[in-house]
Structures are given as structure tokens and as C-alpha cells.
Amino acid sequence: MSAAPHVAFYEPRIPENTGAAIRLSAVTGSHLHLIEPLGFDLSEPKLKRAGLDYHDLATVTVHPSFDDLLVAMPGARVFAFTAHATTVYSDIAYRPDDVLLFGPEPTGLPEEAMAHPRVTDRVRIPMLPGRRSLNLSNSAALVTYEAWRQAGFAHDTDPPQGDRR
């Protein structure tokens, strides 16, 4: 079991962001969940290029709907990320079975997903005033690493030794 949380992309539209999330899954051990409909085919070259050769190292599940994801994760807390929230991502004590839910570019999560009774909280990543949003895969990486850091980077192999300037 990974100490990193589950990452869920709700109806993702940009293959490069999903490819980057596949790479994130491979290097952190987080499980990536994609909620249909997808705005691209999973065999698309841009997706493969962004994920490099990490596809076989990542755990990815495609769910036909948001409800199907929730059925598959019955005890998990679900954190919905939006620019319109008061809870800041760094104020949460994460657990390995948490689901970090991110909406599609450029619209973000629809209100019906954020208002779902299974959503534990709406969460934001601080930004300078007047900025619309942070890139989807960057947002997922930032929060995944915070959750993994809180778990002491459990399951990380010993870091390489050498020059540590």
C-alpha cells in the first residue's frame, strides 16, 4: 500500500496533464483515477509522451462516473479542489486512502461534484490575487507530495548519496 493518496481527475481534457499525472503516480505510488468521459483517447501520443516510460509503473483506473469512483472507495475521504474554498491544502492531515479530486481544465469541478455528500471538504491552493488557476498536473503534484511528506515519504528508497550542496 502506498502512503501517497489517491488522485482523481474528473473528466480530464488535456492528455499532457494526464500523462504527467501518470508519471506522478509512478514516482509516488499514488493511484490515479480518471473519471469519464475523457477528452482524449488513452492511446494518444501526447499522453504517452508526457508519461514517458512510466505507464507500466503507474496504477491507473478509469471509472465510468464519479459515483463509480465513490463506490470503489467506500471509506475514503474525498477532498474537492477549487479556487473557491476556505480550507488550504496544507492545513489537512492526509491519510493514504484519501482521494484528491481535481476538475477539468479550464472549468474546474462542477458544483454537483463538489456538493456530493461524500465530499469531505472543498480545498484550495493559495495563489496571488487575480490568478485563475494553477496547472492541473502541477496542482495534483503539489498536494500529493504534501500528503506523502506528512507520511514521512513512506516506501521511498534510500536517497542516492553524493554531493548535497
- Cα distances (Å, whole numbers) of residue 128 to 75, 113, 162: 35, 26, 37
Region of 121 (left: φ > 0; alpha: ψ -120 to 50; beta: rest) is beta
Whether the full predicted model's pTM is greater than 0.85, yes or no, is yes
Write the DSSP symbol of residue 22: H
Measured CA to CA, the distance from residue 3 to residue 5 in angstroms comes to 7
Domains and CATH numbers, the chain: 6-150 (3.40.1280.10)
Please tell me the predicted confidence (pLDDT) of residue 131.
Answer: 85
pLDDT in tens, the chain (165 residues): 578 899 999 999 998 899 899 999 999 999 999 999 999 888 767 666 554 567 778 999 999 999 999 999 999 999 999 999 999 999 999 999 999 999 998 899 999 999 999 999 999 999 999 888 899 999 999 999 999 999 999 877 665 555 544
Whether the CB-CB separation of 106 and 12 falls below 8 Å is answered with no
Instruction: Kindly state the cell numbers that stand for 89.
Output: 491544502
What is the C-alpha R_g of the chain? 15
Please tell me the predicted confidence (pLDDT) of residue 49.
Answer: 58
